Structure 1
Amino acid sequence: MPGRVVVYGVTGSGKSTLARKLAERTGLPCHSVDDDLAWQPGWVPVPDDEQRRRIAALVAEERWIIDGMFAKWRDIALPRAELIVALDYPRWVSLSRLVRRTVVRCVTRRRICNGNVETLRGMLSGDSIIVWHFRSFARKRRTIRGWVADPAVPVVRLTSPRETKRWLALVSGNDGSNRHYHSRVRGLSGAEPPQESSRGSC
């Protein structure tokens, strides 16, 4: 498994969950874009120049996983990445996950994105994460498919939760070995080894 990995996908696709699972299997440090880079308490966004400073320091390390990539600092992160894992799910999959997740967070008042809390009022506002899903869905899918068509960085494109589960099972066995990763990933969408060459997920 490469040492510098970006998990990318449409809002609600499960980037953070997959990034954490990859970290558990590989031992790579996992960094949350929304917790570490994008948000301050009170839903105050971190200024763009500070986000760029933070991501530059993070990707200068030799081992990491990040659970997203914003356009405002993609020029810093992308050249350092050794692998992009792209979740290219149908809209109904990501949207249903997003709505369910948001409702649960509103009810439980779970703290997310550097200590913030989602509310039902916010969920129904014009600035909600659900509205952002609709605004950003097509653009993010174009980005993924552009990477697959012309991969400056190796790309694994996963098109369903089942396919993602299969791929994750190949990343590392119980012995921690990744020796089967490249040889067995061939059957997955956009994942043949030669081709592996504004809001966040909150």
Structure 2
Amino acid sequence: MTGSGKTTLARRIGQRTGLPWHAVDDLTWEPGWVEVPTAVQRQRIAAICAGDAWVLDSAYLSWIDVPTARADLIVCLDYPRLLCLFRLLRRSLTSAVRRTEICNGNTESLRALFTRDSIVVQQFRSFPRKRARMRAWRHDPAMPPVVLLRSPRATRAWLTSM
């Protein structure tokens, strides 16, 4: 879910397990917020997933088949919509004001937060679809095992138990 904390969790999983983790934004956005062509994204993700061990913080629908075909485990953050929205707004506002780099030299701006292509609008559009997909994966025998975490507390407990 956009704003749930996927990147933070992926980084922590990598630290805890010693596995290399990869921020998908770094692989899919070039400087100036230029989106990498889908075919190149697939190549980049396929190269990572060809390795023996890795952690990704997300998977775009256009190439989701690549990591799911090789993953041993999928961890999903199925947090309440308002929590994700609050976290997203807090992160985006803080990043915009501080000019914090998001990926590949890209930063967020206050102006961009209020456009129809903003990450906030994207969160509203994609939330129901992403939630339904995560919940369906849990019952799909063709998928790797899925851990569905519904709160930050559950996520902390799960991470501690690893």
What TM-score results when the alignment is normalised by the length of structure 1? 0.78
Name 1:12's counterpart in structure 2: 3
Question: Which of 45, 62, 70 pairs up with 2:35?
Answer: 45
Superposition deviation, residue 113 in structure 1: 2.0
Q: What is the percentage of aligned positions where both structures have the same residue? A: 54
Q: Secondary structure at the match of 1:103?
A: helix
Q: Of residues 95, 115, 123 in structure 2, which corresponds to 1:105? A: 95
After TM superposition, give the deviation of residue 140 of structure 1 in Å: 0.4
Partner of 1:6: none
In structure 2, stretches of 5+ residues that fail to align are: none
Q: 1:76 & 1:63 partners in 2: Cα distance?
A: 14
CA distance in 1 between counterparts of 2:33 and 2:54 reads 26
| Count of residue pairs the alignment pairs up | 161
Residue deviations 1:57-115 (CA, integer Å, cap 9, x gap): 11000010000011111121110011000000010111100000000000000111211
Question: Is 1:28 equivalent to 2:19 in the alignment?
Answer: yes
- Aligned partners of 1:76 and 1:25: how far apart in 2? 24
* Residues 101-141 of structure 1 deviation map (CA, whole Å, 9 limit, x = unaligned): 00000000011121101000001111110000001000100
Matched, 1:138 2:128: yes
Tell me what 1:157 maps to: 148
Greater gyration radius: 1
Letter in 2 for 1:30: W
Which consecutive aligned stretches of 4+ in structure 1 deviate over 6 angstroms post-superposition?
none
Deviations 1:161-195 (Å, cap 9, x if unpaired)?
01101111101xxxxxxxxxxxxxxxxxxxxxxxx
Report the counterpart of residue 44 of structure 2 in structure 1.
Answer: 54
Between the aligned partners of 2:28 and 2:78, the Cα distance in structure 1 is 23
User: Distance between the aligned counterparts of 1:128 and 1:97, measured in 2?
Assistant: 15
Partner AA of 2:160 in structure 1? A
Q: Which secondary structure state, in structure 2, belongs to the residue aligned with residue 86 of structure 1?
A: strand
2-structure distance, mates of 1:45, 1:113: 12
- Match in the other structure for 1:177: none
Q: 1: distance between equivalents of 2:66 and 2:115?
A: 32
Distance 1:45 1:79 in 2: 24
Over aligned residue pairs, what C-alpha RMSD do you find?
Answer: 0.7
Counterparts of 1:134 and 1:101, CA distance in 2: 16
Normalising by structure 2, report the TM-score: 0.97
Q: Which amino acid aligns with 1:168?
A: L
